[in-house]
Structure 1
Amino acid sequence: MINNEDAEMLTILDLLDDIQRLGLRHRFDKDIKRALDDRIVSWDNGHEYDIKAEEKLNVTALKFRLLRQHGYRISQDVFKAFMDDEKKFKKYVESDVKGMLSLYEASFLAFEGENIMDEALTFCRTHLNEVKSMANPALSELVSHGLEIPLHRRMVQSDLKDMSRWWTEIDLARKLNFARDRLMECFFWTVGMIPNPQFNQCRQELTKVAAFITAIDDIYDVYATLDELECFTNAVQRWDLKAVDDLPDYMKLCFMALYNSWGDLCKAFLQEAKWCYNKYMPTFEEYLENGWRSVSGTFLLVHAYFSVSQSITKEALESLYKQHNLMRYSSIIFRLCNDLATSTAELERGETASSILCYMYETGVSEEVAREHIRTLIDETWMKMNKDVVVDDGHPFAEPFVETAINLARIAHCTYQYGDGHGAPDGRAKQNVFSLLIEPISLMKSQQQ
């Protein structure tokens, strides 16, 4: 069906979208690419397909989103046909709920500076909120979910048994009883980052890394003295660099990428501990430059690279070593989503620095204005990351790692959407983890018969 030349354009697009929503993209990669190359791109290059007038906006927006998700070039100008002379969307678009929803989802694949996509987001968000209660129940539910968190920022699933056994065997939760016991949440993160079944081993290794990071973060945040932290950080940084002298260049790059990721993480943790100990409020720029490192995103991505990459290239290793923008952007989103959820609790614990507090202190604005500024920064960083994925020579990485980096930002949105779903999960956060990892997917009775 994917490559059926007689199938309608919307049928093909819907099928490709359904495959991705079900988390089955890895099983149909070649078929999806063939369909995009042979049917969707050719349509974009001037080949005509018979599309009903009432479906044109939905088809155009769905095509735009799928092509950008898969790294193809497509201009925002495809939406000019739906705009008037004043560069506003035409009145009739307001009554096309399905088309508006598709356009809304497409707007989250925008690049920075794309004014048409900015207008699309504002227009669709406004009118979808107005009409969601008037649409049919199924479409209304899709609209509500989309407004809550768009498709491009969502994640998809796996299982926990092996990790539970490992966690019990090492007994770290009992030995470090001051630290958070967050194995389930750590595994939830790795499922969000790397959902495809063939990367099971990578998920297990990243779960271990994330569990250790959580414990080390608590050592820096709530337990050790400043002198102890400086000793610990120095110990981490005293890995024997001379041991790599006789290694080939590619192995040196591997070692340095791993060495720097551990060293940078502990240095960033220590910097935050010093700010807290000295009651120092950094500038917003100081905080964010340290914060995207301390949030551990680049650290997780360095470890993930060696597990999801079939071929390891010198160019990619150099980009890991230099912390490529793709890693930096997803980590900034991770940090800012975390701060939106945790800043109140951190202030109560006596921690002086978060992006929200630093921005309030520096500019004199209210907390709500500061939070809105952080949300805007998150949107702008998504646009930068979208562009890096699509533009030629934007990165040297293979698709599995690129998707992992994007998924890091997605799982950050998911985890911190309603509060601190990792550090202090409430009932809703725990239910999210439970429903994804423990409860089976329920089927309708008619489907089971």
Structure 2
Amino acid sequence: MPHRRRTLLLPAPSAPWLDAAAPHQAGAPFRRPRLRPPKVYNTSEDCMRVKAQKLQEDVQMLFQTFTRVVQKMNLIDTLQRLGIDHLFEDQINTAMNEIHEKEFNSCSLYDVALRFRLLRESGLRVSPDVFSKFKGKDGSLSRDIISEPRGLLSLYNAAYLSIPGESELDEAVIFARHHLESMRSSLNYPFSEQVKRNLEIPLPRTLKRLDAPYYIAEYQQEKAYNPTILELAKLDFNLLQRLHQEEIKAFCQWGNDLYEEVRLTYSRHRIVECYFWSYTEYHERHYGDARIILAKLLVLVTLLDDTFDMHATLEEGWKLNEAIQRWDESAITLLPEYLKGYFVRLMNTFREFEDELKPDHKYRVAYSRKAFQNLCKHYQQESEWFHSSHIPSFEDHVKCSVISAGTPTLFVGSLMGMGDEASKEAFEWAIGCTDAVRACGEVARFMDDLASFKHGKNKLDVASSIESYINQHHCTDEVAMDVLDNLVEDAWKTTNQARFDRGALLPLVNRVANLTKSMTLLFRNKVDRYTFSHGNKDRIRQQFIDPIPL
């Protein structure tokens, strides 16, 4: 069925290894999903764990044996790109502070740009003036650096960490992209593949866990290849994959039970996709609680979104919104019969969240409830616009649709299952929907609308932000789309700035940045991979089905 609002809630790829992967059809019975047996490992899981622990200890020693700044930078970069940096958080933080404090006078563009990128991603300030030595007398980048492709790619990726007002880095992106595109056909593997991927999604906007299988396959071809690091990366990926497979099985049971209970047959049945979406924010072993809580929220929000978009009349929407604002089981009397099951399950699930949290973490549920209520209120606002055929001003549209994009609400909820780093200060920041949290909603909304506008509008779609801009400013489609493209870039810069401004909350800024990065999976090249679901199918299989050969 068509949607009025393509809210950014879950990735759309089908899950080909599940019986219940296809969208549920009205009136059809629900079926329990069955995972196909994963490929059999030759080594027991216990042996894998013992081996991985020994390798981890060996890699830890490299932080002591590598004394030069360049050595440590390359080690950190390698661990991040192989997806095993989560095993060395303390060592990396210590090393990054040392790198920041030490004087660095390298004439290598690759090294200077790598240091710039690593420091900024770590929330440590470094000026773009470090690139002055690679400029000519006219202040523009020297053409001499074109002869150093690795340095050019390093500069290209580093420049995507610009903050507002750094136009010289915007120019560096244009310069580097132009020359990398022109030389792509002459590059050798594996560097050619890395250039190809980064031109599509630059490294600072890439989800490292999803990119890790590609780099694991390429790393052995690198000159500085370390077999200990590579073996650890393979083992860690496969061990985590086994954990994720077990979580998916349990989550599918929960999700199908919920769908069978609420029986909103008009809604999308996307259980595995909800888990995958949550996984892009949290893949590490110790974030299992956060991962499952977020995945459950995704299912609940999807049902709410589809109810407003596909089925509820304006009056039914008012009643549903009022019941959710009251957040009391007695409000069930307000609802039409078909929504009562959903409302009861919503109340029960949030009660289960609270029961599962530690006593000093139970306050977190109130923040998530408030965010959920706020989301519902904005769904209702869009419903009223649709039913009255009203096209709001661009400013009013954005004020509403950045929230209805779903990501600000989901991020607040995603903090519930985190450890002590999710402090009360963190929840106040998240619920306030400022800087990086708002930027996430902006990237989600504008990339969604750009993709939807390019493909064409469904008959039940509420006016998009592009249409509001065109209607208000009487401009062409191209001008409006350029405006939104620029707003997406501005939002990324806001996220980069937040790493400096929110130093105490840096780990959480990086989590909401992961949620923002997931938009690149869904809407890159202005193609809506939410509506046209085949685009990410291979990534789901790669992450959850196919182990990496040991």
- Per the normalisation by structure 1, the TM-score is 0.88
State how far apart, in whole Å, the 2-side matches of 1:368 and 1:163 are: 43
Residue 265 and residue 396 in structure 1: after superposition, are their counterparts in 2 closer, same or farther (change >3 A)? farther
Query: Counterparts of 1:1-400 in structure 2 under 5 Å?
Result: 2-4=62-64, 6-38=66-98, 40-43=99-102, 46=103, 53=107, 56-155=108-207, 156=209, 158=241, 159=244, 160-172=248-260, 175-239=263-327, 254=364, 256-343=366-453, 347-391=457-501, 394=502, 397=505, 399=507
Partner deviation per Cα, 1:147-172 (whole Å, 9 max, x = no partner): 10011111126522221121222234
State how far apart, in whole Å, the 1-side matches of 2:285 and 2:363 are: 29
State how far apart, in whole Å, the 2-side matches of 1:201 and 1:10 are: 37
State how far apart, in whole Å, the 2-side matches of 1:309 and 1:144 are: 37
The letter of the residue matching 1:363 is H
Question: Is the contact made by 1:253 and 1:321 (CA closer than 8 Å) also made in structure 2?
Answer: no
Please, which of 512, 528, 531 is the counterpart of residue 420 of structure 1? 528
**Equivalent position SS for 2:138:** coil
Partner deviation per Cα, 1:53-102 (whole Å, 9 max, x = no partner): 5xx10000000100111111111111111112221001101111110100
TM-superposed CA distance for 1:8, in Å, is 4.6
Question: Is the contact made by 2:415 and 2:427 (CA closer than 8 Å) also made in structure 1?
Answer: no
TM-superposed CA distance for 1:363, in Å, is 2.5
Q: Name the structure 2 match of 1:434.
A: 541
Residue 395 and residue 296 in structure 1: after superposition, are their counterparts in 2 closer, same or farther (change >3 A)? farther
State how far apart, in whole Å, the 1-side matches of 2:361 and 2:546 are: 43
Instruction: Name the % identity.
Output: 29
**Equivalent position SS for 2:417:** helix
Question: Is the contact made by 1:154 and 1:414 (CA closer than 8 Å) also made in structure 2?
Answer: no
State how far apart, in whole Å, the 2-side matches of 1:265 and 1:345 are: 26
**Equivalent position SS for 1:161:** helix
The letter of the residue matching 2:178 is T
State how far apart, in whole Å, the 1-side matches of 2:153 and 2:421 are: 39
State how far apart, in whole Å, the 2-side matches of 1:173 and 1:440 are: 35
**Equivalent position SS for 1:347:** coil
TM-superposed CA distance for 1:143, in Å, is 0.9
State how far apart, in whole Å, the 2-side matches of 1:167 and 1:378 are: 33
TM-superposed CA distance for 1:313, in Å, is 3.6
Question: Is the contact made by 2:145 and 2:151 (CA closer than 8 Å) also made in structure 1?
Answer: yes
State how far apart, in whole Å, the 2-side matches of 1:311 and 1:126 are: 41
TM-superposed CA distance for 1:343, in Å, is 3.6
Residue 84 and residue 122 in structure 1: after superposition, are their counterparts in 2 closer, same or farther (change >3 A)? same
Q: Name the structure 2 match of 1:403.
A: 510
State how far apart, in whole Å, the 2-side matches of 1:70 and 1:173 are: 45
**Length, aligned pairs only:** 423
Partner deviation per Cα, 1:340-388 (whole Å, 9 max, x = no partner): 2234667223323212222222223333332222121111111111011
State how far apart, in whole Å, the 2-side matches of 1:175 and 1:404 are: 33
- Per the normalisation by structure 2, the TM-score is 0.72
**Equivalent position SS for 2:400:** helix
**Equivalent position SS for 1:88:** coil
TM-superposed CA distance for 1:5, in Å, is 5.3
The letter of the residue matching 1:378 is V
Where does structure 2 lack aligned partners over 5 or more consecutive residues? Answer: 1-60, 211-240, 329-359
State how far apart, in whole Å, the 2-side matches of 1:421 and 1:286 are: 27
Question: Is the contact made by 1:100 and 1:124 (CA closer than 8 Å) also made in structure 2?
Answer: yes
**Equivalent position SS for 1:307:** coil
Residue 196 and residue 279 in structure 1: after superposition, are their counterparts in 2 closer, same or farther (change >3 A)? same
Question: Is the contact made by 2:267 and 2:307 (CA closer than 8 Å) also made in structure 1?
Answer: yes
| RMSD over aligned Cα atoms | 2.4
Question: Is the contact made by 1:359 and 1:370 (CA closer than 8 Å) also made in structure 2?
Answer: yes
Higher relative contact order (CA 8 A, sep 6+): 2
TM-superposed CA distance for 1:316, in Å, is 2.8
**Equivalent position SS for 1:386:** helix
